[in-house]
Amino acid sequence: MTQEYWPASDDTPVVAASVDVVFHLDGREIPFDHGHLLWAEIVRILPRFAGRTDIGVHPIRGSVTENDTIILSRRANLTLRVKREEAESLHGLIGATLDLGGHAVTVGQPKEKELMPYGAIHAYYVTTGHEAEADFAADIQEALKTRNIPCRMVCGKAHVLNSAGGKVTTYSLALYNLTDEQSISLQETGLGLYRELGCGLFVPHKSFAPVGG
């Protein structure tokens, strides 16, 4: 069955201040839990970004193996979400070889991808620092209330990821019934902690089914 995105209202176009910079990746395999390794390599090559927590680094997608690795396809990408004016500053990654836990990947040419407003968005990993799902959900509800975003939310499967400070419990999260402005705002700023490790980064959600199952 064909799935469709659910765009938010289209009365007035909303132009995001941020963009996704998408680099082609050439490699065979990387660890499933690669966010902390990836960020360390990005900072090694682009030390000006050390200490930044507003740079979003999307999880690299691929086929997950029984050995907790990801097999990279020819369409594998490294995607970073940054302010529009900083996009070119990422070009220092072009041609770089990244060492992700002993697995080498080479960064290719980039292209910019606009953030689009959709009424349903989701993130693969979101963390607020709390391990229990009830506490996590309460944190998200409070954050949405503070930002005056009265949307529907669905928490999904929990994952434990590594960070420089230790283990981090995350949940997948879907948000529905968003206006254009709310959708773009959440995509630009995210929710929770560790954007640089791949957490709190929202993308269009393809259905109203719970995510992360």
Q: What angle do CA 153, 157, 162 make, to 5 degrees?
A: 115
Residue 160, judged by CB atoms within 10 A of its CB (0-12, 13-18, 19+), counts as exposed
Give all strands (DSSP E) within 96-198, no chain letters. 97-100, 103-114, 121-126, 152-163, 166-176
User: pLDDT of the chain along its 213 residues, tens only?
Assistant: 333 344 555 556 778 999 999 999 999 999 999 999 999 999 999 999 999 999 999 999 999 999 999 999 999 999 999 999 999 999 999 999 999 999 999 999 999 999 999 999 999 999 999 999 999 999 999 999 999 999 999 999 999 999 988 999 999 999 999 999 999 999 999 999 999 999 999 999 865 443 443
In the chain the domains, ranked by start, together with CATH numbers, are: 18-114 (3.30.70.1890), 121-204 (3.30.70)
Per-residue model confidence (pLDDT) at position 4: 39
pTM for the model: 0.88
What is d(CA 206, CA 194) in angstroms, rounded to the nearest whole number? 24
Per-residue model confidence (pLDDT) at position 164: 86
Per-residue model confidence (pLDDT) at position 7: 54
Q: Could you tell me which of 24, 202, 37 has the C-alpha nearest to residue 126?
A: 202
90 alpha-carbon distance from chain centroid: 17
Per-residue model confidence (pLDDT) at position 12: 62
